[in-house]
Structure 1
Amino acid sequence: MDTRWYGRRSGKKLRPGRQALVETLLPKIRLKVPTGGRIGSLADCFPHAPKDVWLEIGFGGGEHLAAQARAHPDIGFIGCEPFVNGVASALTLVEHDGLTNIRIFDDDARLILDALPDASIGRLFLLFADPWPKRRHERRRLVSGNTLDQFARLMKDGAEFRFASDHMDYVRWTLEQVLRHLSFAWLVCGAGDWRQPPPDWIETRYEAKAFRRGENPVYLRFFRRPRAAAADEKPLL
């Protein structure tokens, strides 16, 4: 049974310049995962100890990841993306802007989730992931009870989980899954909040494509409840 969260690993043949970056730059900033164990300290993965570490799963071409890294030079960023063409695109941005606060994991995100230390992530992004719309593929959707257990383990108390999608069935699925989980609460104040991106939002290429198709994305924000409080909560669904 294929339960991968991602589709293709590669697309068109890379141009020579991008292929060179994959061969030279990627090994320098690739996040290495210990076999059968967990990373001891994320601060040691960066040249300068960051004040916090944020994680983006499925960064596409890396535009959002790089823009966040530019805007927050004191934050360490881990980007997960198995699609080599997307990784190569991100590497061009890292090189062009001289970004030293990005580490890339170019394999199945489940491997890095298993390896991250407890309470080590201050913000987690899952933006315009593949919705796997066919019913037989629902098990390949990233948001599930098991994955949320992992998110809850690795996120700090009060950390934020940002989700965005233009696929309404996936939005409903995600909201149902998260509201059932005792470790998360929905950051919503009004009926229209889910249509408005956060104030510091950075547009992604997939978001721009959705707008060009005339579709309106949905933006969901959740926070990781304090561990002591989460133990006393009851699921909302």
Structure 2
Amino acid sequence: MSEFDPKPPRRNFYGRRHGKTLRQSQKGYLSEDLGNLRPRGITLDENPERKPIDLAQIFGDDRPVWLEVGFGGGEHMVHMAARYPQIGIIGCEPFINGVAMLLGKIRAAGVSNVSVHPGDARDLMDVLPEGSISKAFLNYPDPWPKARHHRRRFVTPEHLIPLYRVMKPGAEFRVATDIPDYVRQTLEEVPQAGFELISEGKDAWDDWLSTRYEQKALREGRVPHYVTFRRKG
């Protein structure tokens, strides 16, 4: 999979790139489907000058584009793509096993309004046009529980400043997590990056689909928390 591995000189906000051995069907999804779904011009090798990409070339028109950072197993992303066929959604996920799971779900659901970047979301945000994203999702991100690792969390300026740049004024940014300290840091740092807090609490969004990570949290007695921000103009 080395041809899809961006190598930015940055601190990782994610953990492993690979997990348990992929099933043969999942290897097939990666070899047969990922090439057509992967946006071009994202990696440093493909776009060393970091020129803005044309989102209309990905989805074939000027539809609204949503972004999911770290889509895990892909169930939320596919759910949103199926529920809102008029939008295009790009998902970023460096964990190859999660990418393979998403590709299987895309096949099963038959959705066509998706694009998959199997790497660091920062590489994508580098080349997204300014003000091009209409909605963004951060669902159950890696908690990096040790205090010395909190700077690796997504809700830090290294990630939030680029996110602010690529989102449209008034665009919605959703965060779901079961880690109280992640909620604390989210509520502290996201507003400082130019986002207005709209709501936060234990009530999920009307179109929310509970993910496998959320179900694991519930089984282990952790309480999900849902936070909504709006990008200021």
TM score, norm. by length of structure 2: 0.90
Alignment of 1:187 with 2:198, yes or no, is: yes
Per-residue CA distance 1:167-226 (angstroms, 9 max, x = gap): 001110111001323x210003xxxx5111112212111111111112211100000111
- Higher mean alpha-carbon deviation, 1-10 vs 78-87, is at 1-10
Which residue, 56, 62, 78 being the options, matches 1:43? 56
Alignment of 1:14 with 2:22, yes or no, is: yes
Please state whether the residue corresponding to 2:66 is helix, strand or coil: strand
In the aligned structure 2, how far is the partner of 1:178 from the partner of 1:84? 28
Query: Who is 1:94 aligned against?
Result: 106
How big is the alpha-carbon RMSD for the aligned residues of Structure 1 and Structure 2? 1.5
> 2:53–2:127: 8 Å Cα contact kept in structure 1?
no
Please state whether the residue corresponding to 1:37 is helix, strand or coil: coil
Gaps of 5+ in 2: 1-8
Question: How many Å apart are 1:50 and its aligned residue?
Answer: 5.2
> 1:84–1:106: 8 Å Cα contact kept in structure 2?
yes
In the aligned structure 2, how far is the partner of 1:176 from the partner of 1:143? 9
Question: How many Å apart are 1:147 and its aligned residue?
Answer: 1.8
Please state whether the residue corresponding to 2:13 is helix, strand or coil: coil
Structure with larger Rg? 1
What is the identity, as a one-letter code, of the residue corresponding to 1:14? L
Please state whether the residue corresponding to 1:56 is helix, strand or coil: strand
Query: Who is 1:218 aligned against?
Result: 225
What is the identity, as a one-letter code, of the residue corresponding to 1:52? P
Please state whether the residue corresponding to 1:220 is helix, strand or coil: strand
Which residue, 140, 165, 170 being the options, matches 1:153? 165
In the aligned structure 2, how far is the partner of 1:24 from the partner of 1:37? 27
> 2:17–2:96: 8 Å Cα contact kept in structure 1?
yes
In the aligned structure 2, how far is the partner of 1:50 from the partner of 1:203? 29
Gaps of 5+ in 1: 227-237
> 1:195–1:219: 8 Å Cα contact kept in structure 2?
yes
> 2:134–2:167: 8 Å Cα contact kept in structure 1?
yes
In the aligned structure 2, how far is the partner of 1:96 from the partner of 1:69? 13
Query: Who is 2:67 aligned against?
Result: 55
Question: How many Å apart are 1:146 and its aligned residue?
Answer: 3.0
Per-residue CA distance 1:12-58 (angstroms, 9 max, x = gap): 11111110110110011011223322333212112x32520000000
Query: Who is 2:211 aligned against?
Result: 204
Question: How many Å apart are 1:4 and its aligned residue?
Answer: 0.4
> 2:17–2:94: 8 Å Cα contact kept in structure 1?
yes
In the aligned structure 2, how far is the partner of 1:93 from the partner of 1:158? 31
In the aligned structure 1, how far is the partner of 2:109 from the partner of 2:127? 29
What is the identity, as a one-letter code, of the residue corresponding to 1:216? V
Query: Who is 1:134 aligned against?
Result: 146
Which runs of structure 2 are paired with 1:103-122 in the superposition (5 Å)? Answer: 103-122=115-134
Question: How many Å apart are 1:86 and its aligned residue?
Answer: 0.5
In the aligned structure 1, how far is the partner of 2:20 from the partner of 2:158? 34
Query: Who is 1:166 aligned against?
Result: 178
> 1:50–1:76: 8 Å Cα contact kept in structure 2?
no
- Higher mean alpha-carbon deviation, 123-132 vs 108-117, is at 108-117
> 1:119–1:156: 8 Å Cα contact kept in structure 2?
yes
Aligned length: 220
